[in-house]
Amino acid sequence: MTAPLNSSAIIVDKFGRATRALISYLQSLGTGTIERTTYTAAELALMEPEKVSTAFCTDSSVTTFGSVLAGGGTNTVPVYWDLTDWRVG
Protein backbone atom coordinates (compact mmCIF):
# COMPACT_ATOMS: atom_id res chain seq x y z
CA MET A 1 0.00 0.00 0.00
CA THR A 2 1.35 3.42 -0.90
CA ALA A 3 0.67 6.34 1.37
CA PRO A 4 -1.44 9.02 -0.31
CA LEU A 5 0.68 11.59 1.49
CA ASN A 6 3.88 12.92 0.02
CA SER A 7 6.77 14.35 2.01
CA SER A 8 5.34 17.86 1.86
CA ALA A 9 1.77 16.94 2.84
CA ILE A 10 0.40 18.73 5.88
CA ILE A 11 -0.63 16.04 8.34
CA VAL A 12 -1.49 18.26 11.30
CA ASP A 13 -2.94 21.75 11.44
CA LYS A 14 -1.44 24.67 13.36
CA PHE A 15 -3.17 23.40 16.52
CA GLY A 16 -1.64 19.92 16.23
CA ARG A 17 -4.88 18.25 15.09
CA ALA A 18 -4.78 15.56 12.41
CA THR A 19 -5.83 16.74 8.96
CA ARG A 20 -8.48 15.01 6.87
CA ALA A 21 -5.76 13.55 4.60
CA LEU A 22 -4.03 11.86 7.54
CA ILE A 23 -7.29 10.60 9.04
CA SER A 24 -8.39 9.12 5.70
CA TYR A 25 -5.04 7.41 5.22
CA LEU A 26 -5.07 5.89 8.72
CA GLN A 27 -8.62 4.64 8.23
CA SER A 28 -7.63 2.99 4.94
CA LEU A 29 -4.93 0.97 6.71
CA GLY A 30 -7.58 -0.99 8.59
CA THR A 31 -9.45 -2.02 5.44
CA GLY A 32 -6.65 -3.52 3.37
CA THR A 33 -4.04 -6.20 3.64
CA ILE A 34 -0.36 -5.76 4.31
CA GLU A 35 1.93 -7.89 2.19
CA ARG A 36 5.16 -9.07 3.81
CA THR A 37 8.12 -10.86 2.33
CA THR A 38 8.48 -14.43 3.61
CA TYR A 39 11.71 -16.34 4.18
CA THR A 40 12.86 -19.90 4.69
CA ALA A 41 14.70 -20.82 7.88
CA ALA A 42 17.92 -21.08 5.86
CA GLU A 43 17.50 -17.54 4.55
CA LEU A 44 16.81 -16.22 8.04
CA ALA A 45 19.88 -18.03 9.41
CA LEU A 46 22.02 -15.80 7.17
CA MET A 47 20.48 -12.65 8.64
CA GLU A 48 21.69 -11.20 11.91
CA PRO A 49 19.96 -7.84 12.33
CA GLU A 50 21.45 -5.32 14.75
CA LYS A 51 18.03 -4.69 16.32
CA VAL A 52 15.15 -6.88 17.45
CA SER A 53 13.29 -7.70 14.22
CA THR A 54 10.32 -9.70 12.96
CA ALA A 55 9.68 -11.78 9.83
CA PHE A 56 7.68 -14.76 8.58
CA CYS A 57 9.20 -18.19 8.03
CA THR A 58 7.56 -20.59 5.56
CA ASP A 59 9.25 -23.89 6.43
CA SER A 60 9.34 -24.09 10.22
CA SER A 61 9.31 -27.48 11.89
CA VAL A 62 8.48 -25.89 15.28
CA THR A 63 5.41 -23.89 16.24
CA THR A 64 5.77 -23.36 19.99
CA PHE A 65 6.04 -19.70 20.96
CA GLY A 66 9.58 -18.78 21.95
CA SER A 67 11.17 -21.88 20.44
CA VAL A 68 14.34 -21.42 18.43
CA LEU A 69 13.44 -21.57 14.73
CA ALA A 70 14.18 -24.84 12.93
CA GLY A 71 13.55 -25.40 9.23
CA GLY A 72 12.51 -28.49 7.32
CA GLY A 73 8.82 -28.30 8.17
CA THR A 74 5.65 -27.13 6.49
CA ASN A 75 4.51 -24.46 8.93
CA THR A 76 4.41 -20.75 8.20
CA VAL A 77 5.07 -18.89 11.44
CA PRO A 78 5.88 -15.37 12.57
CA VAL A 79 9.40 -15.16 13.99
CA TYR A 80 11.44 -12.60 15.85
CA TRP A 81 15.18 -12.00 16.19
CA ASP A 82 16.17 -11.72 19.87
CA LEU A 83 19.71 -10.54 19.03
CA THR A 84 20.93 -14.14 19.31
CA ASP A 85 18.41 -16.47 17.63
CA TRP A 86 15.33 -16.38 15.41
CA ARG A 87 12.43 -17.55 17.58
CA VAL A 88 8.82 -18.48 16.84
CA GLY A 89 6.45 -15.75 17.85
Q: pLDDT for 19-51, tens place per residue?
A: 777 777 777 777 666 678 999 999 999 999 999
> pTM of this prediction?
0.65
Domain of residue 25 covers: 1-35
64 plus 31 within the same structural domain: no
65 plus 52 within the same structural domain: yes
Is the pLDDT higher at 14 or at 86?
Answer: 86
Task: Please report which confidence band the pLDDT of residue 58 belongs to, taking 50, 70 and 90 as the band edges.
Answer: very high
Contacts of 69 (CB under 8 A, 6+ apart): 41, 44, 57, 60, 62, 77, 79, 85, 86, 87, 88
48 plus 25 within the same structural domain: no
52 plus 15 within the same structural domain: no
9 plus 20 within the same structural domain: yes
Average pLDDT score, the chain: 85
